[in-house]
């Protein structure tokens, strides 16, 4: 990189941290002083608003979900750079790379979409720099917007070929999700990774090599198991088992993607099932963190989907929209010394910037963090 390119890269990063049209005039709550943690697990319920949790508790007759049994319960403001309502690409970017960007972009600066000068650093990349093991797990296609934000950089979430190529070539130890028709067994093997195509493959996998999981998407979407497909809970447990062998620690992102997908179609029954399954995966992460003592678990969402609303007369939750909304979403954290306080609302981009610092990013990596 030339000196001029470096200067332009710094200007792009600085402008991006300032330019935040939708949230510019709002009061800024930033995370405070933090402890560092050896391991960080970020669990993202795509489209999961507070009422999705309430509807799930009502359906299962529960007082609380496992994800609610944490010491810090705060909120995330989900705006993207120019819009009050984000999509999952810009939402994923805010949760992965410490910036807000244009809807549709994947961990890419709005001012530099073709990455001529600069690329925002994802927390996955920070973890890799720190010698930690890393994993990206989803019930969406592996090249879906959220997993892509943690494993690739590109101007459009639709660039599946580019995203898959970047993922296969990356230093990320494991990337598991729905089969996207691109990462065939041959393609994955040619990239020097172990192909995992079923729950049986996953169960037999020793974790000694980098891997790429490609499972039946419909099974994951409807939480059926017609084709030997692992649940999100099984994937989470296995990912933690493998990654936690690294003495330097690990970073893991797990996305429950189908809360959003079923909310788009106002399919409350399957949304509740997906939220319940996601909560079991969160439970597995919290259980590991409890035993391990050195693991920060952050549970949040990229946005709310469906405008889920409570009707007190009928005691029912019902959808008011088939799209994303801009209400604040849960931000639950298992530790009280990670810089977050109960009841506060934080910008989505602060979550990843803080995670990056907790993982050991150099000061200045995330201009908006402090």
Q: Which positions are annotated as active-site residues?
A: 88
Whichever of 216 and 260 has its CB closer to Zn ion, that residue is 260
- Residue pair 146/138 in contact (Cβ under 8 Å)? The answer is yes
Helical H segments across the chain, by residue range: 3-18, 50-60, 88-97, 123-129, 145-149, 160-169, 185-190, 199-204, 217-222, 232-243, 258-264, 268-292, 348-359
CB-count exposure of residue 290 (10 Å: 0-12, 13-18, 19+) = exposed
Whichever of 95 and 353 has its CB closer to Zn ion, that residue is 95
Our CA dihedral for 102, 321, 136, 16, rounded to 10 degrees, sits at: 20
Q: How far is the CB of 255 from Zn ion (least distance, A)?
A: 12
Task: Residue 124: name the closest of 184, 166, 178 by CA.
Answer: 166
Our CA dihedral for 170, 356, 133, 192, rounded to 10 degrees, sits at: 0
Whichever of 243 and 258 has its CB closer to Zn ion, that residue is 258
Q: How far is the CB of 214 from Zn ion (least distance, A)?
A: 22
Q: Give the phi and the psi of residue 277 in degrees, each rounded to 5.
A: -65, -40
Whichever of 17 and 103 has its CB closer to Zn ion, that residue is 103
Task: Residue 38: name the closest of 340, 240, 310 by CA.
Answer: 240
Stretch that binds Zn ion, among 63-71, 234-242, 244-252, 255-263 (CB under 5 A): 255-263
CB-count exposure of residue 267 (10 Å: 0-12, 13-18, 19+) = middle
Q: How far is the CB of 313 from Zn ion (least distance, A)?
A: 29
Beta carbons within 8 Å of 48's beta carbon, 6+ residues apart: 256, 259, 260, 275, 278, 301, 304, 329, 330
CA distance 253 to 232: 12
CA distance 213 to 221: 16
Q: How far is the CB of 216 from Zn ion (least distance, A)?
A: 21
Whichever of 260 and 279 has its CB closer to Zn ion, that residue is 260
Whichever of 160 and 260 has its CB closer to Zn ion, that residue is 260
Site string for Zn ion, 202-241 (x = CB under 5 A): ----------------------------------------
Q: How far is the CB of 311 from Zn ion (least distance, A)?
A: 24
Q: Does 165 bind Zn ion (CB under 5 A)?
A: no
Q: How far is the CB of 52 from Zn ion (least distance, A)?
A: 13
Q: Give the phi and the psi of residue 134 in degrees, each rounded to 5.
A: -140, 150
Site string for Zn ion, 267-296 (x = CB under 5 A): ------------------------------
Stretch that binds Zn ion, among 128-136, 219-227, 258-266, 282-290 (CB under 5 A): 258-266
Stretch that binds Zn ion, among 53-61, 114-122, 257-265, 333-341 (CB under 5 A): 257-265
Q: Does 260 bind Zn ion (CB under 5 A)?
A: yes
Stretch that binds Zn ion, among 71-79, 184-192, 259-267, 326-334 (CB under 5 A): 259-267
- Contacts with Zn ion by CB under 5 A: the residue count is 1
C-beta nearest to Zn ion: residue: 260
CA distance 235 to 281: 8
Whichever of 78 and 244 has its CB closer to Zn ion, that residue is 78
Q: How far is the CB of 158 from Zn ion (least distance, A)?
A: 14
Which residues in this chain contact Zn ion in the complex, by CB under 5 A?
Answer: 260
């Amino acid at each position: 990189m030339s000196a001029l390119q470096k200067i332009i890269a710094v200007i792009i990063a600085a402008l991006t941290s300032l330019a935040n049209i939708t949230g510019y005039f709002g009061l800024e709550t930033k995370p405070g002083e933090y402890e560092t943690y050896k391991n960080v697990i970020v669990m993202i319920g795509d489209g999961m608003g507070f009422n999705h949790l309430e509807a799930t508790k009502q359906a299962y007759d529960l007082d609380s979900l496992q994800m609610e049994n944490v010491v810090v319960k705060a909120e995330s403001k989900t705006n993207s750079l120019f819009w009050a309502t984000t999509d999952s690409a810009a939402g994923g970017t805010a949760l992965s790379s410490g910036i807000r960007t244009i809807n549709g972009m994947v961990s890419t600066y709005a001012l530099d979409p073709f990455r001529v000068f600069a690329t925002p650093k994802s927390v996955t990349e920070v973890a890799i720099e720190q010698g930690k093991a890393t994993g990206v797990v989803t019930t969406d296609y592996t090249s879906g917007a959220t997993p892509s934000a943690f494993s690739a950089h590109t101007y459009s979430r639709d660039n599946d070929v580019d995203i898959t190529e970047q993922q296969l070539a990356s230093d990320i130890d494991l990337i598991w999700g729905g089969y996207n028709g691109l990462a065939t067994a041959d393609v994955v093997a040619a990239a020097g990774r172990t192909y995992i195509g079923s729950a049986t493959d996953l169960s037999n996998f020793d974790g000694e090599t980098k891997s790429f999981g490609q499972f039946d998407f419909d099974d994951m979407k409807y939480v059926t198991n017609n084709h030997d497909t692992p649940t999100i809970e099984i994937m989470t447990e296995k990912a933690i088992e493998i990654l936690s062998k690294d003495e330097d620690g690990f970073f893991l992102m797990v996305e429950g993607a189908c809360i959003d997908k079923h909310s788009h179609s106002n399919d409350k029954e399957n949304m509740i099932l997906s939220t319940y399954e996601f909560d079991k995966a969160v439970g597995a992460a919290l259980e590991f963190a409890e035993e391990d003592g050195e693991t920060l678990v952050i549970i949040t969402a990229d946005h709310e989907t469906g405008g889920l609303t409570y009707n007190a007369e009928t005691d029912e939750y019902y959808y008011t929209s088939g799209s994303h909304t801009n209400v604040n979403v849960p931000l639950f954290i298992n530790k009280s010394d990670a810089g977050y306080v109960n009841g506060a609302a934080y910008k989505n981009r602060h979550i990843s910037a803080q995670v990056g610092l907790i993982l050991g990013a150099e000061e200045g990596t995330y201009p908006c963090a402090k």
